[in-house]
Amino acid sequence: MAHNLRTAANGEASFAHADVNPWHKLGQNLQKATNSLEMINAANLNFEVTKEQLYLSDGRKAPAYATMASDTQALLGVVGERYQPLQNIEAFAFTDSLVKGGEMKYVTAGALGSGERIWILAQATKDTPIEIIKGDPIDSYLLFSNSHDGSSGVEMRSTSITVVCQNTLAMATTGNAAGMKIRHTASVKSRLEIASGILKAHQEHQKTWVAAMKYLAKHPITDDLVLAFEKAMFGDVDETPEGRGMTVLTNKLETFEQLMLKGKGTEIPGRVGNLYGLVQAYTEWTDHYSQIKGTEDRTSSIVFANGAKQKAKALELALVLAKKGA
């Protein structure tokens, strides 16, 4: 699965990191970033987004506009008349007070595709360390994103990454969407209020999620439970005709079951044999092995696209199966 990072006009990938080890080995290393503008510049996100009138084949104005990247002239999306681009240098300015106050630190920034989606990932620095089971630490992050194709505005999502296996875990559960939409404002006071709201929402998401994962860690798996999970998430072997479809499904199930027993982190006591371990195995499969249908790249899939949706579905299913005792 490709990374699908934007290529800037200078030929570099639109990606920057603060002394981490990205799997794709691309981007600029800042060592440490003190504000969002530093991340934006280092990640080659300092292009402007323009809005251009579109025309019909007969020369008449179309009721639509194109958003374009100023440096590459790449088409980012087609939008309506009321759409106004939010420039990259403005999109995440509200996060700077959280970094300055020591609540979080910037980790990565980048753009996908032609630049239609941009993001900044920050690690929460004052959260209580998460350990669903002893010896399996989980880092807490806040993911801020914006689109230039009209598909979404500025958003924040809480996410967690298991240190040992680098699984990006879904944090959405019933009644807890693990994210919030953020309105743009130029007011410093409003930005501070937004920052405070972000921290509160993140902490609430995390509290609910930790309780859910600890509940799963106490629930042992059975053959029937694993079968029910596999049917829902992968498909039913008994209803799959012989041929390539059966081969693909069988390979997926074999890989998933191998990850449950010998995946990254399974050497940690308490990781194998419960629903928490099952969710970790499915997350590892989705992040590192799968090609989710409809997903064009790994970076997008993990946190934005179908991979993220499937991981959220898997977590919700595990909670339902635990309550049903399947």
Using 50, 70 and 90 to split pLDDT, how confident is the model at 171?
A: low
* Mean pLDDT across 285-295: 69
Which range has the top average pLDDT, 141-150, 199-208, 283-292? 141-150
pLDDT of 93? 87
Q: Is the pLDDT of residue 175 over 50?
A: no
Q: What are phi and psi of 247, to 5 degrees?
A: -65, -45
Within the chain, how many helices (H) and strands (E) appear?
Answer: 9, 12
The amino acid sitting at 306 is N
The amino acid sitting at 291 is Q
Closest CA to 85 of 72, 63, 70: 70
Of 143-152, 196-205, 310-319, minimum mean pLDDT range? 196-205
pLDDT of 191? 66
The amino acid sitting at 73 is Q
Q: Is the pLDDT of residue 206 over 90?
A: no
What mean pLDDT value characterizes the chain?
85
Q: What are phi and psi of 72, to 5 degrees?
A: -110, -10
φ/ψ bin of 179: left (φ > 0), alpha (ψ from -120 to 50), beta (otherwise): beta
Beta bridge mates, 124: 104
* Chain-centroid distance, C-alpha 287: 10
What are the percentages of helix, strand and coil residues in the chain, rounded to 5? 35, 25, 40
Q: CA-to-CA distance for 318 and 221, rounded, in angstroms?
A: 10
- pLDDT digits over 255-284, tens only? 999 999 999 999 999 999 999 999 999 999
| CA-to-CA dists, residue 181 to 142, 147, 154, 224, angstroms | 13, 12, 6, 39
* Chain-centroid distance, C-alpha 68: 24
Count CA within 13 A, CB hemisphere, residue 115. 29
Q: Is the pLDDT of residue 56 over 90?
A: yes
* Chain-centroid distance, C-alpha 178: 11
Q: CA-to-CA distance for 44 and 299, rounded, in angstroms?
A: 17
- pLDDT digits over 68-117, tens only? 999 999 999 999 998 999 999 988 888 898 898 898 999 989 998 999 99
